[in-house]
Every structure is written in structure tokens, then in C-alpha cells.
Amino acid sequence: MTCLAACGGGESPPAAPAVPVVLSADSIPLRALAQQAGIRIGSAGDRGFRWTGTDGSNFRAILSREFSVLTPENDMKFDHVHPAPTTYYFAGADSLVTFAQQNQMSVRGHTLVWHQQLPSWVNSAASAQSALVDHITTVVGHFKGKLLAWDVVNEAFNDDGTRRSTYWSDHIGPSYIELAFRTARAADPDVPLFYNDYNIEGLGSKSDSVYAMVKDFLARGVPINGVGLQSHFVVNGVPSTLGANIARFVALGIKVHITELDVRVPTPSTSVSLAAQAQNYHDVVAACIQVKGCELVTMWGFTDKDSWVPGTFPGFGEALPWDAFFQQKPAFHSVYDALAGR
């Protein structure tokens, strides 16, 4: 096995400044309010760590002040850490772990098995099962003892609740999901293991299928500890059954994380759309707080400057609580109020 950048390291990003460049208008950081409310608050990010100058300082200052959990947006995905059959590259992901440790944050691993962002070599692997097991064993083993949780399998279902056809399902069969969880548990006996997907936030065919899978896994001793609800919403699209769905998963004896929250609006935004967006953020955070067993709300980034939304949903954007100039939007204050119990 070849390990690039010394396998276990790489240059770490600078720690956040002792006095943040951009302070919240409200005096208590979101992370402190979240702790008081019994949950954690997180953000995704990796591209921002390569910024220099004022933007980079602002990014790191807000991230470290407001959030207690960091999810690598890309730097732990298959193509980033395993670019060739016997080559692993951990420098980018390790730098995020170092930043988190420097700023009293936890890191949530994302993601081990997905049908996207696979390196080209996987398609010609002699054995898909061997490739999968080697990847999970090496990556989970590398980060053993350092992470809050792992998204083990990502987006394995279609919207109608059927299993998605992917490289892994086509070459291994539907058992690849169980194999992934068992392999991850063997590599780290302690880290919580999650299934993560979109459009499973409310009650419906897709969430029913995930619920049935989790229930079956628990009955047969397959190691699964939680479900991640991605929560990429269009404004006014938060399902009314979000709280009920969280509760039924928790009733199985597992945990729930809101893993990738953003609320996109038609661009340019208006005061009306931003007010609706703020209410949506409030409702999601409040729903998590209200169900013991929902442990975390993570936003998929925090600034519109660095959001995936405009490139994926033409005509939509401005999906996060800070604007592209690092100014707080109504959504920030609604999250603050939800965490404060208002």
C-alpha cells in the first residue's frame, strides 16, 4: 500500500485566531446553545481551508466559534482518499481532524460507500468485494478513535423505496450494505455507524424502506447505530412529518443526525423568501431538539460563498445562514432562537 503525504499527515490548516475575525451579533455561540439544548451543531467544509487572506480567516473564525462538529464535504470520499488501488491519501482529511482538535470540535466521517465520486480504477477492480473491504478497513482504521461517527453507506435507495442500482449492488449484490457495516465495525469497534440518505426526512416510501432495513439489521445483529437525514430542502419544503419520522427511527433504539441541512431559495432572494427560509431552519432544529435521540444538526456549509447549491440547482441558491460576505442572515437568528428555546 502506498500512502501519499506520509499517509498520516500533511500540512495542517492554521488554527482559528484567538479573537475571531467575525463575531456573532448574539453573544453566545451556537455550539454553546446547542450543548444547553442537548444536541450538537455542525457544519461541512473542506474547500474553505485552502483559502488565504481575509476570507480564509473569516471562514475559520466563524467555523470554530459557532460549530462543535465538522464534516468533511469531500476530503474523506473514496476518490479523495483512495485514488489508486494501493494508494491512500489522507493529508486533506487529516488536516481537518487536526483543525477540529485544535478548536475543541468533533469530526463526523463522510462517507465510506457511495455510488458517486469513485475513482476510475474501481470499475476495473478484480473483485468489487475485496476493493470495498480493503477501502473500509484501511480508512476506518486510519481514523480509529478520532471520529464522532461514520456515514458508512450513502444514498442506497431510489425515491420510490427500491434499492438503487450502483457499481456496488451490481457487482456484489444487495448484501454490500450489510458487508460495509460489518467491515466498518471490525475496523473500529467503537465508532457509531450511520446510514445516510436524502428524501427520507419525512414519512414516505423511501423512508419506509430505510426504516425496514434498519429494523432488519438490528434484528439480525448487523452493527448500525443511526440514520442520517440529509435535509437538502427547497424553501417551504420541510416535511410536516419530520418530527414523527425522527421519533420512529429513535424508537428502534438508534440515533438520528440531521447531516446536510440547507434550504435553497429562488435567486435573487427576497425578504419574504429569506423569512420563510429562516422559519424552515427553525423548524428543523426545533424538531431535532424535541426528540431525545436526535443528537446533531449539521449544515452543509454555513456561508453562501461556498455552497454547492447554485451549481446543482440552477435558479436557486442563498441556502445557508451566512451570506457570501459572511454576514448573518435571518436563518442564523432563527437557528439561534431554536437552540435557545424560543
Strands 149-154, 106-113: pairing is: parallel
* Cell numbers given for 167: 457499481
- pLDDT confidence of residue 12: 46
Coil, helix or strand at residue 29 = coil
As annotated, the active-site residues are 155, 260
Across residues 58-66, what is the average pLDDT?
Answer: 94
Q: For residue 25, what pLDDT band results from cuts at 50, 70 and 90?
A: low
**Mean pLDDT for the chain overall:** 93
Q: Which residues contact 272 (CB under 8 A, 6 or more apart)?
A: none
Nearest to 45 by CA among 24, 70, 20, 18: 70
* Cell numbers given for 283: 423548524
pLDDT digit string (tens) for 303-322? 999 899 999 999 999 999 99
* Cell numbers given for 301: 456549509
In the predicted structure, residue 102 carries a pLDDT above the cut 60 = yes
pLDDT digit string (tens) for 221-258? 999 999 999 999 999 999 999 999 999 999 999 999 99
- Cα 91 from Cα 292, distance rounded (Å): 36
Domain 2-339 belongs in CATH node 3.20.20.80: yes
Domain boundaries, the chain: 2-339
Nearest to 134 by CA among 94, 189, 92, 78: 78
